[in-house]
Structure 1
């Protein structure tokens, strides 16, 4: 079972595999981010047929919850250009925008001779993967993930995860779309507080890639911070099997449960 089924060029429905961790009656936002990345890339390729620009930053604003009703996604070029381009994708469900994604595409260049990063590497993925990374999170989406985590203290640790579930039934997607369909899990792979007692959903996700990912394993070194006034942040360094490739930040709204 895939996360989504395409109904026409821009209309889709989600399957039970996309059900959420905070509420199984809603979609998990992670697969939606992958789908919107895929459609953004398809839209961009129609203009950049030679592939001279690469996506470097993806910002997602979560405007509301996603039910399992049909939805469609609209794309628009906000800032056209030959060396940089900003593309916006908006998911519309039941007549209202629910998710907005903006992607910066930038001109590619040969900088291999000076490539490098100050981010430290983390231990690579192993074959000892567990369903749902061995977490207690529910929902079809989390259950479709396998991986493992090492938590050194509350809100700090590393994790690797992957999925064999297709993003869209019958379609092949890029490594970037695949990674983006996993990345929102960064807020949950290591926990600062028991999510049965404290809810901390993220309102956004911003990912910066200085190197495009190569699958199938996504790794993060993650730090979760809670402030004293109900606001938190999850910040992660993103890794693939080659090493660090970018960063991801998510703003959190913190709510005690019960």
Structure 2
């Protein structure tokens, strides 16, 4: 089946080969696991209309291509503001934890901020060529997503923007939610905007934080990213995530940088 995960019931999921990351075929790219955590957070019951405003995924170790278990709970209930938590485990090992703020939905259309031209001046998907990845990065997750180069180039060091669309579902034949689409690609910011030769350097993110100001519309998500490397082995990748109508969220990743 063309999906990232097969549901085994009772919160258990079997990853397919589409989840395999570019660094090693034995571990998943953390885009699909992040989306799986968001799916579990979205499934938590609530009173009234609410939406996720911020999700932080703490990556505690590699996600193997083996059965995973996902659980979620409301940590701090409230009438307008709630704190949620989700855990992703492989056997007895916790692979990742997510914390999210879920807020009440109200009508603020009359005061909504209109994005500036500098944040929306992206070429249309139809005008963008297929994005190229560094040699040896193909397969698994990268092939399960359609990538189009919008600005800059992944093969060239520095900021870059790519349009992305899932070729496969997240779980079974279920249609991904708008936020699941965002998190499937949000963890790729550091790869899109890498400034280091991956043959000589490792740059591994330990977390992903995404602030959402609206849900995206449609299948295409643009990741407009830039990475800043500090002098002591730390770096930060920052991303603006767009749909075809403009920005929808902001993402950040803390990176460990070191020689191979």
TM-score, length-scaled by structure 2: 0.91
Q: Structure 1's 16 and 141: CA in aligned 2 closer, same or farther, altered over 3 A?
A: same
Structure 1, unmatched stretches of 5+, are: none
Q: Aligned Cα RMSD in Å?
A: 1.7
SS at match of 1:32: helix
Moved over 3 A (4+): 128-131
1:19-34 alignment, distance < 5 Å: 19-34=20-35
Q: Provide the residue aligned with 2:133 in structure 1.
A: 135
Kept after mapping to 2: 8 A contact 1:221/1:236: yes
Q: Provide the residue aligned with 2:199 in structure 1.
A: 196
Q: Provide the residue aligned with 1:254 in structure 2.
A: 257
Q: Provide the residue aligned with 1:225 in structure 2.
A: 228
Cα distance between partner residues in 2 of 1:35 and 1:146: 19
Kept after mapping to 2: 8 A contact 1:158/1:222: yes
Which moves more between the two structures, 152-161 or 102-111? 152-161
Cα distance between partner residues in 1 of 2:258 and 2:138: 19
Count of residue pairs brought into register by the alignment: 252
SS at match of 1:88: strand
Of the three residues 86, 90, 93, the one matched with 1:89 is: 86
Q: Provide the residue aligned with 1:37 in structure 2.
A: 38
1:1-258 alignment, distance < 5 Å: 1-43=2-44, 46-48=45-47, 50=48, 52-117=49-114, 120-127=119-126, 133-136=131-134, 137-149=137-149, 150-151=151-152, 154-257=157-260
TM-score, length-scaled by structure 1: 0.92
SS at match of 1:127: helix
Deviation at 1:69, TM superposition (A): 1.8
Kept after mapping to 2: 8 A contact 1:24/1:138: no
Cα distance between partner residues in 2 of 1:215 and 1:102: 26
Q: Structure 1's 129 and 142: CA in aligned 2 closer, same or farther, altered over 3 A?
A: farther
Deviation at 1:15, TM superposition (A): 0.5
Kept after mapping to 1: 8 A contact 2:166/2:181: no
Kept after mapping to 2: 8 A contact 1:124/1:241: no
